[in-house]
Amino acid sequence: MSWIVRPSKYRHVYGQQTKKELCYDNVRVSKNAWDSNLIKVNTKYLSVNWDASGGGAFAVIPLSERGKINDQIPLFRGHTAAVLDTDWNPFDDQLLASASDDGKVGIWRVPEDFTLAREPGEDPVDVAPLAKLSGHSRKVGHVQFHPVAAGVLASSAGDYTVKLWDVEAGKPVLSLAHADIIQSMAFNYTGSLMATTSRDKKLRVWDLRTEKAIVVAPGHTGAKSSRIVWLGELDRVVTTGFSRMSDREVGLWDTTNLAAGPIDGFYRLDQSAGVCMPYFDPGTSCLYLAGKGDGNIRYYEYENDTLHKLSEYQSTDPQRGVAFMPKRGVALHENEVVRAYKTVDDRLIEPIQFVVPRRSEGFQADIYPDCPAGEPALTAAEWFAGQDSGPKTISLEAVYEGTTPVAAVAAAKPTPKAEPKAEPKAEPAAEPKPAPIAVTESKAYVAPKKDIEDILATPKVDSMLSKASTAEDEPVPTPLREESSWEPEPEPAKEAVKPAKEEPKAEPEPVPEPKAEPKAAAPADKAEPSPVAGAAKSKLESLNANFSAVKTSVAALEQRLDESTENTSYELAARDARIATLEAKIAELSATVRALVGSDHSAAEAAPEPGVTDSIPDAALEE
């Protein structure tokens, strides 16, 4: 049926732009051409690769200090060449690492009560690194902290290696040798595996403890950079890159069978030249793609080995860098599921809220599952010794209520190699996309019995049922019968078995005969019109079938009406927001024109030309 759509809680997620006065203005993003995200964010600070002279530097901006920042601010200096990447420690909001063109990895701590504000005449004081880690022979392009173990850091460099550092000891413990420059890397859920892409157009999955690539496969065929992200607890990764014809494309891969290529092939996006920066939100199973040089951010929902496109945040302001807030830092009271920070013209950083529209108030448990707690589950020594664990998680309901959440260790996947063999082969086998959609659709539209009773009590439904009771028996189409049952599937099973024939044989009715002699006439009367009873019974079955079909139609119509109302309201809200933005811009332009015309008029009065005595009326100026 054409009106059936795939059910999703995130179908209407929309991106909400932030007013300029609430952005971070007067920043100087680095002009370096190295492919990284340029900015990173945690729940307290933004780090920005800074365009600074005299060696490399980056800036840290407190999230609470919005608006225009000072021309001179304290910078984090210590590298002798440009800073190429930064990353925040997931277990300590004051600690971060940096990668630099000088071949060093910097470890930094943000001072307590750090602020960019200062007294008049006070000079900014730069921050020095806690430590500088030496081990790479060429420039370090990316750094990334371990998602589970404290004090474990990964870095990739131009010497074709990824090194895993024990930050406390200040030395590399593991090294992954590649054949070319590493373009991106991503840990899996427990941090026991790592996926990488490199300039040799290969996609690799590494067993970190053995320092060996357990799977190697050809990736995107284009010459430009490729990115990779792991899909949470799943054994799937997503890559973004380019085809041989320079088309931007996305690939979804089974990490246990990379040689088979991307599932269902590559998804072609467009022909833009900018690299797509991916981010996957495990709580919503949504993938966000922000292209360098684009103003838009696409987002998709992963389900049954398919990326279903949801919508697209559109903007005329292109970005070079994007960062995403950890889930424990989003605005739960506003139903915000993801918050992105994008650079605009290398001088502004703009927050963008992605919101699930909901009418009801209160904590929305279905869109806020447990998330990483920001506490380590293992120490560096334990992890390097071979222990694995899932990350510690917290309930966001406690954060919503303002109470202290209690962290619990999430169950780790027992054997990352064995687990994929159970699921991936089952999912592709059930790949026919209509099948999962039909199943989920019927489950999604099952209404509570109380709601069904309220619907049946309406006058329109009564009239429809009365029409159905007088209609002739007609066979109900099989697809409608399957989709319409609001009760579990046993009901059609009972109709198919037809145990009614056994009821006369069981002789339950002769039991009242011994109780009273006079009532013997009643069974005799019932026995006579047996053909009539059979006809009535078949009529009743037909009415039940029609009744079930009517209930389904009513539920479907209500669902479509709700969706149509929601879509209309969101479109109107978006239109109002655009109109308000245009009005503000018109007012600003009008004020500028007035100022320019006024200055020209005053200049004319100060030095009038000979023979000219007329002046411009004020009314004309106002026009």
pLDDT tens-place string over residues 485-533? 334 444 444 444 444 444 444 444 444 444 444 444 444 444 444 555 6
Please state, in angstroms and rounded to a whole number, the distance separating the CA atoms of residues 347 and 212: 42
Per the structure, the count of domains in the chain is: 2
The DSSP-derived string for 460-501 is HHHHHHHHHHHSPP-PPPHHHHHHH--S-THHHHHHHH-GGG
- Of 294, 323, 355, which one is at a domain's C-terminal end? 355
Token output for 82: 């440009």
In sequence order, the β-bridge partners of residue 228 are 239
Same domain, 86 and 215: yes
pLDDT of residue 613: 41
What is the number of other CB atoms lying within 10 angstroms of the CB of residue 321? 22
Same domain, 454 and 320: no
Assigned domain for 498 exists: yes
Same domain, 340 and 471: no
Q: For residue 296, give its domain range.
A: 21-355
pLDDT of residue 592: 81
Assigned domain for 404 exists: no
Amino acid at 260: A
Q: Which residues contact 499 (CB under 8 A, 6 or more apart)?
A: none
pLDDT of residue 394: 93
Same domain, 344 and 477: no
CATH number, position 260: 2.130.10.10
Assigned domain for 588 exists: no
Confidence of residue 546 (pLDDT cuts 50, 70, 90): confident
Burial label, 528 (beta-carbon count in 10 A; 0-12, 13-18, 19+): exposed
Contact indicator for 140, 100 with CB cutoff of 8 Å? yes
Helix ranges (DSSP H) in 122-204: none
**Cα 342 to Cα 227, 238, 602, distances in angstroms:** 18, 21, 43
Assigned domain for 138 exists: yes
Same domain, 182 and 38: yes
- Of 293, 320, 355, which one is at a domain's C-terminal end? 355
Please state, in angstroms and rounded to a whole number, the distance separating the CA atoms of residues 148 and 391: 5
What is the number of other CB atoms lying within 10 angstroms of the CB of residue 391? 26
Assigned domain for 381 exists: no
- Of 531, 547, 563, which one is at a domain's C-terminal end? 563
Contact indicator for 347, 25 with CB cutoff of 8 Å? yes
pLDDT tens-place string over residues 33-81? 899 999 999 999 999 999 998 788 999 999 999 999 999 999 999 999 9
Assigned domain for 474 exists: yes
Confidence check: pLDDT of 480 > 70: no
Assigned domain for 346 exists: yes
DSSP 50: B
